[in-house]
Amino acid sequence: MPLALRVVQSLSEAAGILAADSRTTLLSGGTLVMRDVNEGRLTDGTLLRVTDPAWRQIQVSGTRIELGAGATMAAILASRELGFLHAAARAVGGPAIRNMATIGGNLFAAAPYGDFAVALLALDAQVMVLAGYGSPRAVPIEEFLAGRSRGEARLVASVQFNRPVAPGDFRFLKVSRVKPKGLSVLSIAAHLPGHASRIGQARVAYGAMGPLPVRARGVERALEGKALDANGIAAARAAALEGVQPVTDAIASDWYRREVLPVHLGRLLANQS
């Protein structure tokens, strides 16, 4: 039975359909799902489109930011208020892909894709999910990503997080062999509150250093209360590999990823990337 198509207006209706039928696949920007269609990995069931404009909204109110899951990388890049996220949005594909790829889709992109989700992990984002009819529920992004690996079917309505307080608190780096667009050897996002004096409650996340974006907890501990001087950066570099499980793929071997991660982390922290 070939693929069917269903179009709904509201997010809650879409969530209800997804919860009731495991053979329904939500289509957002198309950069992941249509690939599967083209390559014959998705051949039956139903594609579900949501036309709710609220799904694509970006709201910045004070320090709180909410990105609709259907907002594209290009929409992030068009927002001056989200300048601290531009490096992460620009890390996704070329211009055409950025006009299509969405925030919500990136949360489901398998390594070495999904660089924007790495930034959201370092920002301690809350993922607003709908599991069936009802109101969205806030799920910490780490918990959400763990659920993704278990194949839980949920609709992402939006992601919410606080704006970093000072310019330079948030940093992002993608390492690829092809410039300006290439797949990730790795990516690093760091939220470093107090980086100008003493760091408190740093959040550091890696992409392509495991099957999912992963927190660098060793680095976060090493940076606690430290200044971003030579000693602080050396301590972070020494803890860089804690908890990582990089894969070997066509882009890089796990050995190579382990070798270069501390180097790039050091450069990011020293603002030399």
3-state secondary structure of 144: helix
Binding residue for other proteins (CB under 8 A) from 16, 68, 93, 213? 93
- Sequence-ordered list of residues with C-beta below 8 angstroms from that of 214, at least 6 positions apart, any chain: 121, 205, 206, 243, 244, 245
x/- mask, other proteins, residues 61-90, rule CB under 8 A, reads -------------x----------------
CA 146/CA 126 separation, integer angstroms: 14
For other proteins, the closer of residues 99 and 162 by Cβ is 99
Nearer to other proteins, 16 or 93 (CB): 93
Binding region for other proteins (CB under 8 A) out of 32-40, 126-134, 136-144, 184-192: 32-40
> What single DSSP character describes residue 90?
H
Is residue 88 within a helix (H) or strand (E), and if so which, with residue range?
helix 86-90
The site string for other proteins over 130-169 (x = CB under 8 A, - otherwise) reads ----------------------------------------
Containing H/E element for 26?
Answer: strand 24-27
Which residue, 116 or 144, is less far from other proteins as judged by CB? 116
228 close to 192: Cβ distance less than 8 angstroms: yes
Q: Which region, judged by CB under 8 A, interacts with other proteins, from 37-45, 141-149, 188-196, 239-247?
A: 37-45
> Binder to other proteins among 95, 134, 168, 225 (CB under 8 A)?
95
Nearer to other proteins, 92 or 244 (CB): 92
Instruction: Determine how β-strand 186-191 pairs with β-strand 64-68.
Output: unpaired
The terminus-to-terminus CA distance of the chain in angstroms comes to: 50
Q: Least Å distance between CB 25 and other proteins?
A: 10
CB distance 228 to 193 below 8 Å: no
Helix and strand counts by DSSP (H, E) for the chain: 11, 12
Candidate residues 27, 75, 85, 119; the one interacting with other proteins per rule CB under 8 A: 27
Site for other proteins in 178-217 (CB under 8 A): 180-181
Nearest to 73 by CA among 98, 108, 105, 53: 98
Q: Which residues bind other proteins (CB under 8 A)?
A: 1-5, 7, 27, 29-31, 34-35, 37-39, 47, 49, 74, 93-97, 99-100, 180-181
